[in-house]
Structures are given as structure tokens and as C-alpha cells.
Amino acid sequence: MKYTRITSLALLGLLLGTSACKKDFLDINTDPNNPTTADVNLVLPSGQAFVSFIVGGQYNVIGEILSQQMGIPNGGNQYRTWDQYNIPTSTFDGRQFQGLYAGALEDFQYVITQGTAQNEFRMVGIAKILKAHSFQVLTDLYGDIPYSEALMGTANLTPKYDRQQDVYAALQLLLDDAINDIKKQQGRFPGTADLNYGALNEAGMSRWIRLANTLKLRFYIHISTKDPATAAAGIKALYAANGTTNPFMLTGENYQYANTSASNSENPFYQTNFRLQNNLAVSSTIGNLMTTLNDPRRSVFFLDADLRIPTGQTTSPIDYLFVEPGQAAPYPNNYTFPGTTNAVVRLSYPGTFFIGSAFSNAGALGSTYAGITATDAAAKARPTLLLTYEESLFLRAEAAVQGWTTNEDAKALYDAAVTASLTRYGVGASAATYLASTGVNFANSASNADKLALIANQKYISFFATNGAEAWTENRRTDIPTIKSPLTNVLGPNVFVKRLPYVDSEILRNPKVADTGITPGNLTTPVWWDVK
């Protein structure tokens, strides 16, 4: 496992829309004309940018497809193999798997090592929180991963693979250390070097502590079905340690990365759709769920499938039409133009909120029909959402239903979470009506299982087009909503992807990958916490 650090500032700028500073080079990458150390406040934002680009980009896309929030439209081929469960070991090897290890995680480890020696404990604490989140993403996608022996450079090029349960336990301790480091109140405030919260003072650092506690809660909820005793004890301890003070994320404190409309610094999901237009459509799994619930977010999440105003009318009827998982050609003709017998294929793309006007449908310019304006600038600048306020409320609501919290009202938390999600997409005025409706109303749930199902459904919806990796994690954990076997499924009928395959570079260079017992290319063995 030899991770080669990206040393070209031009390349990193192209990938991330930000500059990074060289820190530590190996072998032929050593350049005597450049320094081998850098100020930690220059390295921290490099790691943050890597996380946004990778987790908000291709890991977001694969999660959206495997959780069946997105599918493949007629003529879209970029991600078709993923939709049909053909995911080879070469997938995500370079920019994603190695990008997190050799990019983000190496940056964070550098800040931790150098910052500790320099008493920069505010930035050390932040780097530990970011490290914990990055490892959580990796272990949820791949299962057992290098952790305890990772990030040692030439001292260990073949680190062992730690069991997922051990990684999760270690991440809890890492977050505890991060909180303690921040509470030392030593070192500089990162300010503009902090691309997530811009912490300029102790109030800003308190946001990081609340994020650390919210991540701890997320991690405990992730393992709660497999190991409810550890989850319960950990969550109860979180509440006990903070008394009556809310230790979790407050409104407006989303863990996110601010993108811009400037070239190569746009939202990574927008970039994906801008460069590879018409390769993603809305899956019938989430589309039918939201239609059944008459969800007001549909007008934001989904495009009108025909993108036209029928002749003789002044407004366009909304046609939400969804693609089946694993659909292959020929696609069924699912739409007939009003007043004609002309049947064609029409599907809803993700809404302009996410992809701007970067789409077309059989020549129809989606940015020009009634009610839709060119929204590229706004879509480009949408932040990369890594852990939102509404997710924190859903996590607390689930813990409250389980009886693991202190003085928390599960219904109030659930209602607030749904309202926060609707508000994010401009339809908050519909919250009261929506929350009272069938299939959404928390008060109508007689059992804890029903309440947990409502929370899972709404959390799943809230991740649409923004955090596919977490959507897929939650779907595997809860089996809610029920996903369908793809129409074309190379694994066989009713066999589902349960993990991403270990990447080629690991299989070829690190013999310890074999110690996991997972054969190369294995997609179907569940990760440790997945017992559904």
C-alpha cells in the first residue's frame, strides 16, 4: 500500500478548485527545490477540499445509484455498469480510494503530527475530527480497511487491515481526543484556513466540538443493529457528559464545504452532471416513494419529464417519470404527447437545484420552459453537504425512540428534521400539512418499529443528490426503503451489492488485503454492521 502524493499544484487545482501545499514526498517525488514542510494552516484546507471533491463527487454518485435514488436514462452509459452491479476492482482506485488516503488523510495526519509538536491544538483537534469522518466513509464503503498502521509513509508500505468493529471503536476514541485537544484552547484559530466552519474564535471552535459529538452519535447509530449494547452505552454517555446542554449540531451548523461558481471549484455533483450530461435520471425507488407521500420536495428534486408546454396550453403539466434500476435498452415508451398517439421515452432528471441547466431531453432546452430559468450559478455554488443539521435531528430522534437519550422528544426531533429538510429546498411552508399526512405523521405510528421506519424513510429522502454514500450506508443498515433487484443484474436475481470491491492497487501491492478473507471483486459480503 504505497500511496503516491499528488505533487502537481496545477493538477490539484484542476481536481479540486483549490491549491494545496507540498508537505512530504517519497522516493522520486522528492524535489530539492521545494520545501518538505508546510505550515499546518496551509495543509488543513487541502484535506478539506479533497474530502468535498471525493465524497461529494463519485462516492456520492455510486451511493445514489446503489441506494436507488438515481438510475440511468435512455442513452446514458457512463454509470450503466454500476446500475447493473458490474463494479470492477479498478473502480475508484486512483482519485477516490487513494485520493482519501494519500490526499485528505495524509493532510490531516500531517496537521496532527506537526501541530502537536507546535502546540497548535485547535487545528490538531479539527484534523482529528476530519480524519475520523474520512475513515468512517471508507470503512462503510469497504468494510475492513487499513487504520492502525496506515499513514506511516515508508515506515510501513503494507499496513494491516483492521476489522471494521475495531475501526469504529478507534474512531470514537479519536473523536474524544479531538474534543480534548480543542478544549486545551492552545494554538492559532484557523480562520479562513478552515474551509468548513471558518473558526475565528472559541465560538467557532465550539461548532467543531458539536460536530465531533454529532459524528459520535452517527457512528453509534451505524452500529446499533449489530451491537446495540455498545451503541446504547455510548449514546447514554454522550448525554450524561453534557447534562442539560445540547452537545450536538445546532441549526445553521451543517458540516459542509462551500463551493463557488468559478471554473473547477463548483459543487462536485454539479461538475459530474455538467461534464457527463444526461447520465443520471431519478430512480423509481425514491420517485415512487415520494409520489406516494405527495412529497413537496418533488418539484425541486425531479424535473418535469417532457420539458415542454403542450400546444394550446399556457402551462406545462408536471410529468414525473422514473427509471427502473438496471434498465437496459430498449427502454419502454412511457409517455404520449397530449393530443397525439406519439409514444416516446421520457424520464425525470435531477432537478435544476442540483444540476442547473446542464441537461437536455431529446433536444428540449430545459432551462427555457415555463417555470424554469437558467440556474447554473446557484447549482454550481451549492455546498457539499457532509453532515446536515437535519441528519443530526434524525439521529437524535432514532436514539430517543430507542430510549437511549435524556429529555429528548422523538416526535419533536423528527418533525424538526423533516421541516429543516423541506426548508432547505424552499418548501418549508408545506411542512405542517406534510407532517400530518399518511405515511409521514409520527403520531400515527403505534410501534417503535413503525417510528424507526418513518425516520429511516425521511432520512433517506433528505440525502437525495447530496450524500449518496450515507444514503447507501443507511439503506444497507435499515433496509428502508426496500430496494429492487435491477432488471439487468450481473450478480443474479435478488443479489445485491453490499460493499465496494477492494481496489487494484491494494490487491497488487498489499498482500495483507488477503487477511480480510474477502476475495478480489467481492461485492456481496456484507460489512460488519450490516445484519439486515
Q: What is the pLDDT along the chain (532 residues), one digit of tens a residue?
A: 544 443 333 334 434 443 334 344 334 345 555 566 899 999 999 999 999 999 999 999 999 999 999 999 998 999 999 999 999 999 998 789 999 999 999 999 999 999 999 999 999 999 999 999 999 999 999 999 999 999 999 999 999 999 999 999 999 999 999 999 999 999 999 999 999 999 999 999 999 999 999 999 999 999 999 999 999 999 999 999 998 889 999 999 999 999 999 988 999 999 988 777 889 999 999 999 999 999 999 988 998 877 665 555 556 667 899 999 999 999 999 988 777 888 989 899 898 889 887 665 444 444 344 444 546 888 899 999 999 999 999 999 999 999 999 899 999 999 999 999 999 999 999 999 999 999 999 999 999 999 999 999 999 999 999 999 999 999 999 999 999 999 999 999 999 999 999 999 999 999 999 999 999 999 999 999 999 8
Q: Is 272 left (phi over 0), alpha (psi -120 to 50) or beta?
A: alpha
Q: Is the N-terminal amide bond of 190 cis, ω within 30° of 0? A: no
Q: Looking at residue 161, what is its pLDDT?
A: 98
C-alpha cell at 426: 424552499
3-class SS at 135?
helix
Other beta carbons less than 10 A from residue 330's beta carbon: 8
Query: Of the candidates 68, 177, 94, which has an alpha carbon nearest to the alpha carbon of residue 132?
Result: 177
Query: Of the candidates 140, 144, 165, which has an alpha carbon nearest to the alpha carbon of residue 62?
Result: 140
Distance from C-alpha of 177 to C-alpha of 418, rounded to nearest angstrom:
32
Handedness of CA 371, 465, 44, 153 (dihedral sign): negative
Query: Of the candidates 283, 282, 289, 335, which has an alpha carbon nearest to the alpha carbon of residue 308?
Result: 335
Q: Looking at residue 192, what is its pLDDT?
A: 97
Distance from C-alpha of 17 to C-alpha of 28, rounded to nearest angstrom:
26
3-class SS at 262?
coil
Q: Looking at residue 286, what is its pLDDT?
A: 98
C-alpha cell at 276: 457527463
Looking at the whole model, is its pTM more than 0.85? Answer: yes
Residue 387: phi, psi to the nearest 5?
-160, 115
3-class SS at 72?
coil
Count of H-run helices and E-run strands, the chain = 20, 10
Rg over alpha carbons for the chain, rounded to the nearest Å, is 23
Cβ–Cβ < 8 Å for 148, 162: yes
Distance from C-alpha of 264 to C-alpha of 244, rounded to nearest angstrom:
44
Handedness of CA 380, 381, 385, 386 (dihedral sign): positive
Q: Which residues contact 33 (CB under 8 A, 6 or more apart)?
A: none
Q: Looking at residue 163, what is its pLDDT?
A: 98
Distance from C-alpha of 129 to C-alpha of 122, rounded to nearest angstrom:
11
Handedness of CA 346, 352, 357, 359 (dihedral sign): negative
Query: Of the candidates 104, 1, 101, which has an alpha carbon nearest to the alpha carbon of residue 43?
Result: 104
Q: Looking at residue 429, what is its pLDDT?
A: 96
Q: Looking at residue 372, what is its pLDDT?
A: 47
Helices assigned H by DSSP within 257-341: 268-275, 284-292, 298-301
